[in-house]
Amino acid sequence: MTARRLETRLHPDDRIDPEKTGPQMMRHVMMNVAESPIAWLAARGHLTQAQLGAGERLRADYERAGMAARVTMRWDAAPPGKSRGGVRASDASLARIDAHRRFHGALDAAGPGLADICWRVVCAGDGIAGAEKELGWPARSGKLVLGLALDRLARFYGTG
Largest CA distance in the chain: 70
Q: In this structure, is residue 106 part of a structural domain?
A: yes
Host domain of residue 101: 36-69+87-160
Count the Cβ atoms, other than its own, within 10 Å of residue 120. Answer: 21
DSSP strand pairing (27-32 vs 4-9): antiparallel
Q: How far does CA 133 lie from the centroid of its chain?
A: 17
Cα–Cα distance for residue pair 81/89, rounded to 1 Å? 7
Cα–Cα distance for residue pair 49/90, rounded to 1 Å? 34
Q: In this structure, is residue 98 part of a structural domain?
A: yes
Q: In this structure, is residue 122 part of a structural domain?
A: yes
What phi and psi, each to the nearest 5 degrees, are found at residue 112?
-65, 140
Q: In this structure, is residue 156 part of a structural domain?
A: yes
Q: What is the pLDDT of residues 57-107, one digit of tens each?
A: 999 999 888 887 766 666 665 555 555 555 565 677 888 899 999 999 999
**Whole-model pTM over 0.85:** no
As for how many domains the chain has, the answer is 1
Q: In this structure, is residue 29 part of a structural domain?
A: no
Q: What is the pLDDT of residues 5-36, one digit of tens each?
A: 444 444 444 545 556 665 555 555 555 656 78
